Amino acid sequence: MIALIPAKGYSRRVPGKNKREFCGLPLVAWSIIQAKCSRYVEKVFVSTDDDEIADITVEYGGNVLWRHYKQDPDDAGNVPTYYALLDLLEMYGDLLSKRFVNLFSTSPLRFPDGIDNVVEAALTHPVDSVTQTLCIMHEILLYVRMEDDQIAPVLGEKLGHYCLFGQATQVNSVQRYLTTERPMIEGGIATDTSYNQGMRVLPSPQYYISVPLWQSYECDTPEDWEICETLMEAFILKGRGPEVYYEYARRQVVE
């Protein structure tokens, strides 16, 4: 199985975030390390448009996929993954019937076995399905912002029916991904602006495994960055840096 990590050079809220130091390493390096230490991932590919990110990818054992399509700052996260898969199909013709691991570098809060847990869950489900990490909201009270600093409640429950997108670790079918995303991308609506106007319902089934709420934090703002570094060190690294992942990988070889 391959792992695919989109990592562009441009960022609006945290300039150069994918190559910025996070817990001692460039941010994108953590996702590369995590994928390479998975027992199921054979190759790691990073889709990028940036020379420094390309150098980081090679340094940490990944493979560079240069972006050749016309980019837009408003592109949604599915756009680079879609075009990277098309490039990989040209390189590996038998890829269409297989699954792949899709990782977002801005979600580095993964335990050493995090990717393997998602893959193992995915292997019990149909090939054309999606399996991803989600945080179960056991209690939720959601408000919508209105004019003049007013708010109005729109959702409240304590039954655990709702989930929050977290950790951004996903196992998907290559064929399903291309088929599902093609209408949006070729139709020019795969943008953050369109995303903000409402979520679409995907036609094929999706499955999930639950992760703690703190793993839903992403490095998307300067404030989030500090929070994520604190969580990464306190709950995962504990002073050992990337060695926690390398040790996990060594144990898989022995077993």
Q: What domains can you pick out in the chain, each with its CATH number?
A: 2-133+164-254 (3.90.550.10)
Band (4; pLDDT cuts 50, 70, 90) = very high
Residue 224 has pLDDT above 60, yes or no: yes
Q: Which of 223, 104, 73 is nearest to 172 (CA)?
A: 104
C-alpha 88, offset from chain centre: 18
pLDDT tens digits, 86-132: 999 998 888 888 999 999 999 999 999 999 999 999 999 998 889 99
Element (DSSP H or E) covering residue 227: helix 222-231
What's the rounded Cα separation, in Å, for the pair 198 and 66? 31
Q: Are 53 and 19 in contact (CB under 8 A)?
A: yes
Q: Which of 19, 14, 76 is nearest to 46 (CA)?
A: 19
When pLDDT is averaged across residues 175-196 and rounded to a whole number, the result is: 76
pLDDT > 90: percent of the chain: 69
Q: Are 54 and 48 in contact (CB under 8 A)?
A: yes
pLDDT tens digits, 194-205: 555 555 555 566
Q: Are 176 and 126 in contact (CB under 8 A)?
A: no
What's the rounded Cα separation, in Å, for the pair 133 and 136? 10
pLDDT tens digits, 130-175: 999 998 888 989 999 999 899 999 999 998 888 887 778 999 999 9
pLDDT tens digits, 58-82: 999 999 999 988 888 767 778 999 9
Residue with tokens 């990989």: 88
Q: Are 173 and 128 in contact (CB under 8 A)?
A: yes
Residue 168: the pLDDT is: 85
Q: Are 46 and 75 in contact (CB under 8 A)?
A: no
Residues contacting residue 146 through CB under 8 Å, at least 6 positions apart: 152
The pair phi, psi for residue 25, each rounded to 5°, is -130, 160
Sign of CA dihedral 58, 60, 61, 67: negative
Residue 231 has pLDDT above 80, yes or no: yes
| Nearest-5° Cα angle at 1, 82 to 4 | 35
Residue 18: the pLDDT is: 96
Residue 184: the pLDDT is: 81
Count of CA atoms in the C-beta half-sphere (13 A) of 220: 8
Residue 191 has pLDDT above 70, yes or no: no
Residue 13: the pLDDT is: 85
Residue 10: the pLDDT is: 86
DSSP string, 161-220: -EEEEEEEEEEEEHHHHHHHHHHHHHTT--BHHHHTT-PPPPSS-EEEEE--GGGG--S-
